[in-house]
Chains A and B, each alone.
Chain A
Amino acid sequence: MFPAPWVCRRCATALAQPLRRQFLRYASTDAAGTTLPPALLQRARNLAAEHAALATTLEQTFDGKAAKRLGELSRVATALRSYDAARSSLAELDQLSRSSDAELRQLAHDELASTHAQLASLATALSASLTPRDPYAHMPCLVEIRPGPGGMEGRYFADAVYKMYRAYCARVGLRCNTVKYDVADGAETAGGGAVNELPLAEAVLEVLDDGAYDLFRAEAGMHRVQRVPATEKQGRTHTSAVAVWVLPSFPAAPEAGGGGGSSPGPEADFENPESDFYIDPKEVKTEKMRAGGAGGQHVNKTESAIRLTHIPTGTTVSMQDSRSQHRNREDAWRLLRSRVAAQRREAQEQVARSLRNSVLASSQITRGDKIRTYNYQQDRCTDHRAGVDVHNLPDVLLGGESLGRLMESARGWLVGRDIQLLIAEEEAKAAAEAKGLGSGNGNGKKKK
């Protein structure tokens, strides 16, 4: 029995149990692991074969479509080549380590460890190259920041989040501009929130650099804050939330970038009805702010607010930040396009998800889920998906190195999730093919 004279029975049973489930952290960036699943490897080989075939045909004749496909596949092909090289060197080292020469064995052994590590990273790279790139990844983006439901505290923190992303852009050297910055009315008691925070109603930050969408895509979701608001008398910690949406956006001047033929697909042109960004002007109701009384020369208005309503989806956008009504109108249209495109995209993903095996549904992050917590008391910022803690909150809020690390880990997690989805899909496909082999090839889902 126990060496101790007496132990409470309940404690004894509790100690005897293995660690509880709830203490385990399941989220992990290591989704792909060291060894690639055979289904994925098979897909890589197929694609590499296609790449080789395309390359030979392109040597004879030029075909724009094929060239584009080749460009897409070359990532996979190179990744697979280096992966294979690492594999073969691993096999060689393996043989060497079994050789009779002790010195050689020792050398091979040392080498083996580093090659293993290399192989792991190559495997991740290969699977990352296999994951379909987000169709909007190359685009600039709009970051929308809105306070969650609840009191003023969320609004003040929304301002902090807005400033955080702006500072981040400034530090990393991304060009950004504030499309919209609406401060909520009311309750502006002195010193509300932390230093220099205003109660934000809505802010839209546009990051103009290409590929910004890919950078910021992992930031979308609920950002939770735990802190003692400046208005709180009893020193209680409040928890509130701020929603961040990341929408793909169009480069401001589409005609300026003309000439370059590399713009891919129908997404590149919002005038194209095929594009997610296409909006029929007939479906949009325009409203202008109208002051009472006579207009024209009689009065001298300085602002020109505009509101657009996309009738089929009920999406509204209002804009009044610029002195120029021309600018306001253009910004409003851009924001509306991005919002509608994001909605359409979400609907498509919903459909795709319901088609998929629902095993992985739990790892889907939707708008409602909290993704990150900023805890002021503990000077901590946690990303819940990647499971990363950062302990320099001021630096995070100033958009410093720590925020970069968080964003990177979230991106890594997102890639890992995509890979998992891909593996599941490939396995499902393989299973279906194996099952359907007898009944002909009727169910083979085409890869897009």
Chain B
Amino acid sequence: MPRLPPALLQRARSVSPDLATLLPACRDLESARNELRWIREHVSAAALLSPGQARHPRAASSFSEAPTAKVRRDGRSNHENKVVSGLCRRRARGEPLQYLLGSQPFGPLEIQCRRGVLIPRPETESWTYALAEDIVARLASAAASHGRNGTSEGKRSRLRIVDLCTGTGCIPLLLYALLHKRFRDVRVWGFDIEERAVRLARENLRYNITRGFLPSSLLPTEHTGASEGGNGDGSEVIRFEKADIFADDWSESITQQEGGSDGIDVLVSNPPYISTKGFHRDTGRSVRNFEPRLALVPRPRDDERSAPCAPEDVFYQRLCEVAETLRPKIMLFEVGDLEQALRVAQMASLTAGERLRDIEIWRDYPDVVEEQGGTGDSDSNGNSNSNSNITPTETYIEGTKVSIKGSGHGRSILVHLR
């Protein structure tokens, strides 16, 4: 990490000492300024809430001590300024902003973040949007053909989504928010091995309902809330459970429990995918020091049942196995880079065999067109002459064409199955 030029620090200090404090963590003035603004906004918003309601526990407790703080000319009390500086100092030590402020916006939702659970990433948000579009396109067309054939199903109205390694629950919640108007009966399940993550995901569900980001019809009626014990809110429609997906009997139990006769439609996962080497070399300081390693680096598996693979790919292997029993029509897994995407694509095509319809690889921002100049759908023609060094738009795996969409690093792999 290059040293910060003293002139930069000095300039930041002349604006505000807090800005200079933030600079080592943010690395440039622009983002330091943004973060300072967000911290200030958060603190004054928390001050506006009455102490009992303040959702950030730390802020809440400290605000209640100073009910009649002196308000300065810039509209912030001395006490608020102290809180801001405190947060800035913690941020400077590398603590992620999302843990400090307690939340991260994710699409229209606001996802609570807490130590021990991975913070939702903007790339994840991007592909979740793209996936929602894909689900609508695929399953709507499937419904149309069903209707023509005159099968009993007729109009498609049922959608079952399973998210493994759900963490904060951001993916299932956003998918529900985006899709519940398009399908009559959407059910979403999220699973995580970490108890804290499951608790936080349930909390996020409740929080986003009370904030009005998710429909209030999800709120529990009296008996559903009581029946499942601690399971809590919206237990029928959105559900978060603790589960070890490597456990032998797990996938059978979920098929019996939730799948019913038709199985599930979509299997999503953002599993840990960083190699031990990559963890030490490529991750950011705040990620390495503050985010749970459990959610980043897969633990090595010593069971010898399945074919050997790279240690960072073990989850994908297991996900493909799970897919064999759950039989989803669409699978999407987030991956670390393009090489891993290709490895996973190969794995998926081998396990799916005949059932495979097609595979796509999405980059960081699947909706952004990479190339310069021509905008529209010129994937095929206008590309050969322009920059060949960075962006291949298709490749072949096991004889099937795999298209690579979007801009950025290889980020996720989408598999359509029969």
- Interface residues of chain A, those whose CB is within 8 Å of chain B, are 181, 183, 185-186, 188-190, 196, 198, 282-283, 285-288, 290, 293-304, 311, 320-327
Contact = CB atoms under 8 A, between A and B. Distances in A.
Contacts of B270: 297
Contacts of B334: 296-297
Most B CB contacts (10 A, CB to CB) among A287, A301, A326 go to A326
Contact of A300 (B29, B124, B287, B337): B287
B284 to A, nearest CB: 4
Given A286-B369, A288-B368, A297 B375 contact: no
16 contacts: A188-B14, A189-B14, A196-B73, A282-B375, A286-B368, A293-B282, A294-B282, A295-B364, A296-B121, A297-B270, A298-B336, A300-B286, A303-B34, A323-B104, A324-B105, A326-B108
B310 interface: no
- Chain A interface, >50% SS class: loop
A298 B119 CA distance: 11
B320 interface: no
B30 A298 contact: no
B370 to A, nearest CB: 10
A244 B122 CA distance: 34
Interface stretch (B46-54, B82-90, B406-414): B406-414
B274 A298 contact: yes
Contact of A297 (B14, B121, B407): B121
A176 B408 CA distance: 36
B31 A302 contact: yes
Contacts of B33: 183
Given A286-B367, A286-B368, A298-B336, A322 B105 contact: yes
A301 B122 contact: yes
A298 B284 contact: yes
A290 B124 CA distance: 15
Interface string B236-280: 000000000000000000000000000000000010111000100
Contacts, number: 118
A283 B287 CA distance: 38
Contact of A294 (B14, B104, B118, B337): B337
B122 A188 contact: no
A151 B123 CA distance: 39
Contacts of A299: 283-284, 287
Interface string B21-33: 0000010011101
B369 A298 contact: no
* B contact face: mostly helix, strand, loop, or mixed: mixed
B271 to A, nearest CB: 10
A285 B375 contact: yes
Contact of A288 (B98, B121, B291, B407): B407
Interface residues of B, number: 58
Nearest to B364: A295
A297 B105 contact: no
Given A290-B407, A326-B105, A297 B274 contact: yes
> Which 9 A-B pairs rank lowest in CB-CB distance, beginning with the nearest?
A324-B105, A299-B284, A294-B282, A302-B97, A304-B122, A298-B283, A190-B14, A326-B107, A298-B282
B336 A296 contact: yes
B15 interface: yes
B282 A303 contact: no
Contacts of B295: 297
A287 B368 contact: yes
Contact of A188 (B11, B38, B286): B11
A297 B409 contact: no
Given A189-B14, A321-B34, A294 B278 contact: yes
A290 B364 contact: yes
A324 to B, nearest CB: 3
Contacts of B376: 282
B59 interface: no
Instruction: Give the most central of B11, B14, B284, B286: most A CB within 10 Å.
Output: B284
B172 interface: no
B176 interface: no
Contact of A185 (B29, B37, B274, B336): B29
Contacts of B175: none
B9 to A, nearest CB: 13
A320 B34 contact: yes
A294 B336 contact: yes
Given A294-B283, A300-B291, 4 more contacts: A183-B33, A185-B29, A286-B367, A294-B409
Contact of A290 (B274, B287, B408): B408
Nearest to B408: A290
Contacts of B31: 302-303
A293 B336 CA distance: 12
B191 interface: no
B368 A297 contact: no
Contacts of A288: 364-365, 368, 407-408
Given A311-B375, A323-B104, A326-B105, A300 B119 contact: yes
B121 A323 contact: no
A296 B408 CA distance: 10
A295 B291 contact: no
B296 A297 contact: yes
A226 B272 CA distance: 60
Given A288-B407, A300-B119, A311-B375, A326 B11 contact: no
Contacts of A282: 375-376
B302 interface: no
B125 A296 contact: no
Given A287-B368, A299-B283, A325 B375 contact: no
B234 interface: no
A325 B125 contact: yes
A304 B105 CA distance: 11
B368 A296 contact: no
B74 interface: yes
Interface string B110-133: 000000001101111110000000
Among B31, B98, B118, B270, residue most surrounded by chain A Cβ atoms (within 10 Å): B31
A12 to B, nearest CB: 59
A295 B284 contact: no
Interface in B282-305: 282-284, 286-287, 291, 295-296
Nearest to A330: B108
